[in-house]
């Protein structure tokens, strides 16, 4: 499906070519990334929405649903696409993939049907596993046209991420863009091999990874933060005129660490997600259903809480609180 296909050819503008389609200034397209059919012979098409402004500028990709059960990012992208209807792009191009892992989304699962995590198969290959083929399709048919990527995630299972961004040490351009995004926290995190972050960092493209809320849920605070940050980045890149609000100043954290359950039992968090805590502070309690003594979950270091496990029942060793050390960067 496409609109305004009759637009005059403008040879003075930069070529924006995605999925074999040349996108001209002012055009809107919904293209399809095709990877594989279901075993029911149903063709799976992954919609890629493209909106190009009237003048040249950066190409921004909003990516969500890399993990099929992370819905917050999907709704965030939907809200931005809704915004663009009433606030057309001034320049540049917006590419939106609200649900990359359609296979996982259909089953409301993080992984692909074979259990593979798509985010461990970049840059992928045309003849590999389904995860590898999907990664390869994105890398070869969409990413070459893109300058900046914002990748939206949520905590797995019951782990609720306080809204934050993650960047790779040494990737100063992405860190600068993360500051523009202006989340509550920015975490310097080690890069996982074969993740989309590892791939994009190696290609030199600017990449912002947002974490907020938890899987299989719509968390308004997380969605609001992601929507605000993306709006700020779009204004910074010139896609929209701005800025629309003032910077609050993100807290930088690094060397994050999980506080784990000292025993199995019923878990009650005490400290709020996002709180700044001191070493030795009691973060939560685990109680014994049979009346034995409760145990405290304490902070083994000072820091900011990046994530709280919201599971009511936990096993010994389960990850409960994710702390990031601060202050970090100058
Ligand atoms: Zn994710």
For residue 294, what is the domain's CATH number? 2.40.50.100
The pLDDT of residue 14 = 84
Q: Tell me, in angstroms, the distance from the centre of ligand 1 to residue 302's CA.
A: 26
Residue where one domain finishes, among candidates 183, 202, 237: 237
Residue 245 lies in a domain: no
User: Does 229 share its domain with 270?
Assistant: no
User: Does 230 share its domain with 262?
Assistant: no
User: Does 43 share its domain with 165?
Assistant: yes
Taking Cα atoms as reference points, which of 133, 116, 111 lies closest to residue 124? 133
Residue 176 lies in a domain: yes
Q: What is the pLDDT of residues 194-238, one digit of tens each?
A: 999 999 999 999 999 999 999 999 999 999 999 999 999 999 999
Q: What is the CATH number of the domain that holds 108?
A: 3.40.630.10
Residue 246 lies in a domain: no
Whole-angstrom distance, CA of residue 179 vs CA of residue 185: 10
Q: Tell me, in angstroms, the distance from the centre of ligand 1 to residue 4's CA.
A: 35
User: Does 101 share its domain with 206?
Assistant: yes
User: Does 232 share its domain with 270?
Assistant: no
Q: Tell me, in angstroms, the distance from the centre of ligand 1 to residue 166's CA.
A: 12
Question: What's the sign of the alpha-carbon dihedral 200, 201, 207, 209?
Answer: positive
Q: Which structure tokens are listed for 3? A: 């609109």
User: Does 232 share its domain with 313?
Assistant: no
Q: Tell me, in angstroms, the distance from the centre of ligand 1 to residue 27's CA.
A: 31
Question: Does 4 have pLDDT greater than 60?
Answer: no
Which comes out higher in pLDDT, residue 14 or 108? 108
CB 237 within 8 A of CB 148: yes
Whole-angstrom distance, CA of residue 165 vs CA of residue 27: 31
Mean pLDDT lowest among 158-162, 249-253, 265-269: 249-253
Residue where one domain finishes, among candidates 206, 237, 268: 237
Residue 286 lies in a domain: yes
Whole-angstrom distance, CA of residue 122 vs CA of residue 82: 30
Q: Tell me, in angstroms, the distance from the centre of ligand 1 to residue 26's CA.
A: 32
pTM: 0.93
Number of independent structural domains in the chain: 2
CB 268 within 8 A of CB 311: no
Question: Does 89 have pLDDT greater than 90?
Answer: yes
User: Does 214 share its domain with 307?
Assistant: no
Which comes out higher in pLDDT, residue 210 or 326? 210
Q: Tell me, in angstroms, the distance from the centre of ligand 1 to residue 155's CA.
A: 7
User: Does 121 share its domain with 11?
Assistant: yes
User: Does 11 share its domain with 62?
Assistant: yes
Q: Tell me, in angstroms, the distance from the centre of ligand 1 to residue 212's CA.
A: 10
Taking Cα atoms as reference points, which of 105, 181, 142 lies closest to residue 31? 142
CB 207 within 8 A of CB 197: yes
Residue 158 lies in a domain: yes
Q: Tell me, in angstroms, the distance from the centre of ligand 1 to residue 222's CA.
A: 14
User: Does 70 share its domain with 101?
Assistant: yes
Q: Tell me, in angstroms, the distance from the centre of ligand 1 to residue 224's CA.
A: 18
Q: Tell me, in angstroms, the distance from the centre of ligand 1 to residue 299's CA.
A: 26
Residue 66 lies in a domain: yes
User: Does 14 share its domain with 112?
Assistant: yes
Question: Does 327 have pLDDT greater than 50?
Answer: yes
User: Does 267 share its domain with 220?
Assistant: no
287: containing domain: 255-325
Q: In degrees to the nearest 10, what's the CA dihedral of 180, 183, 188, 192?
A: -100
Q: Tell me, in angstroms, the distance from the centre of ligand 1 to residue 151's CA.
A: 9
- Residue located via tokens 């300058």: 147
Q: Tell me, in angstroms, the distance from the centre of ligand 1 to residue 56's CA.
A: 32
Q: Tell me, in angstroms, the distance from the centre of ligand 1 to residue 306's CA.
A: 15
Q: Tell me, in angstroms, the distance from the centre of ligand 1 to residue 210's CA.
A: 9
Residue 330 lies in a domain: no
Residue 242 lies in a domain: no
Q: Tell me, in angstroms, the distance from the centre of ligand 1 to residue 118's CA.
A: 10
Q: Tell me, in angstroms, the distance from the centre of ligand 1 to residue 66's CA.
A: 6
């Amino acid at each position: 499906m496409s609109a305004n296909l009759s637009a005059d050819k403008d040879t003075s503008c930069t070529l924006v070519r995605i999925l074999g389609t040349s996108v001209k200034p002012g055009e809107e397209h919904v293209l399809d990334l095709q990877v594989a059919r279901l075993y029911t012979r149903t063709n799976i098409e992954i919609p890629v929405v493209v909106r190009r402004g009237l003048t040249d500028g950066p190409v921004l990709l909003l990516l969500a649903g890399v993990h099929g059960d992370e819905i917050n990012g999907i709704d965030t992208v939907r809200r931005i696409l809704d915004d663009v209807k009433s606030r057309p792009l001034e320049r540049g191009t917006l590419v939106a993939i609200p649900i990359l892992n359609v296979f996982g989304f259909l089953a409301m699962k993080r992984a692909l049907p074979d259990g593979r995590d798509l985010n461990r198969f970049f840059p992928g290959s045309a003849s590999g596993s389904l995860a590898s083929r999907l990664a390869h399709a994105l890398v070869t048919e969409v990413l070459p046209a893109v300058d900046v990527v914002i990748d939206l995630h949520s905590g797995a299972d019951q782990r609720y991420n306080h809204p934050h961004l993650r960047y790779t040490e040494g990737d100063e351009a992405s860190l600068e863009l993360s500051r523009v995004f202006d989340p509550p926290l920015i975490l310097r995190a080690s890069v996982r091999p074969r993740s989309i972050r590892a791939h994009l960092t190696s290609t030199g493209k600017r990449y912002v990874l947002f974490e907020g809320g938890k899987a299989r849920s719509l968390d308004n605070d997380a969605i609001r933060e992601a929507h605000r940050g993306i709006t700020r980045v779009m204004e910074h890149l010139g896609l929209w005129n701005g800025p629309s609000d003032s910077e609050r100043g993100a807290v930088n954290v690094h060397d994050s660490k999980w506080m784990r359950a000292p025993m199995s039992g019923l878990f009650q968090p005490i400290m709020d997600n996002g709180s700044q805590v001191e070493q030795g502070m009691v973060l939560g309690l685990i109680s014994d259903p049979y009346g034995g003594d409760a145990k405290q979950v304490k902070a083994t270091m000072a820091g900011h809480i990046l994530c709280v496990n919201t599971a009511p029942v936990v096993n010994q060793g389960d990850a409960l609180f994710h702390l990031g050390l601060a202050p970090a960067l100058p």
